[in-house]
Amino acid sequence: MMDLDGRDLVRGRHQEVREGGGEDVTVRGVDDLLEQRVGAIPRLLAPVLAAMGCKVLHTSRRDVPDAIGRRVGLDTLLAQADIVSLHVPLTDDTAHMIDAAALARMKPGAVLINTARGGLVDQPALVAALRSGQLGGAGLDVFEAEPAAPGDALFALPNVVVSPHIGWLTTGTFDRSFALAAENCRRIASGEPLLHRMV
């Protein structure tokens, strides 16, 4: 989704898919990319984005290596970022962290990407910001209410790209998931520590 938005495909690609076709689209540069917090996904994504010429900014409650990008406050991030990409869990503290006030503080024409949790964003406020032109677009893999209703206002907006919350799922990732599961079963049987253990 970030690639779609960064290449100004938020309108073009979504419409092309609806119409059953596709054509080349001019690439535009992305000056700043905001990543909320710095977990596993942003740690992997930041070097790739930096290699593409993006200036990566983030906000985090803990210290992270400089290689991840520059740590700044949320207000600075919202004001400077061309793309705001959310990578945080949904908690009482993060629910509607992107509300009407936060959307108004965002750089005019910026793009919001949410592949984390739908409840992070006040969806009616997002629709209003997209309709008014305050935001240039949105890429959404999650919705405040899931599954999203077929008549959801976001689906009718030309500056929104949506996908089901399975954007990671490809033949390769599916095969890798099974291989990791099999390896962890082997480790359990051998009394070895598990890979990617979550506590």
Tokens representing 136? 């240039």
Does 16 qualify as catalytic in the annotation?
A: no
Report DSSP state, residue 98: B
Cis peptide before 147 (omega within 30 of 0): yes
Tokens representing 192? 């070895």
Q: Which of 43, 165, 183, 187 is the catalytic position? A: 165
Q: Do 57 and 81 form a contact (C-beta atoms < 8 A)?
A: yes
Q: Which of 35, 87, 117, 144 is the catalytic position? A: 117
Tokens representing 27? 């690439």
Q: Which of 146, 176, 186, 192 is the catalytic position? A: 146
Does 146 qualify as catalytic in the annotation?
A: yes
Place of tokens 């089901």: 164
Residues 6+ apart with CB under 8 A from 32: 54, 55, 57, 80, 81, 82, 83, 107
Q: Do 100 and 52 form a contact (C-beta atoms < 8 A)?
A: no
* Catalytic residue annotation: 117, 146, 165
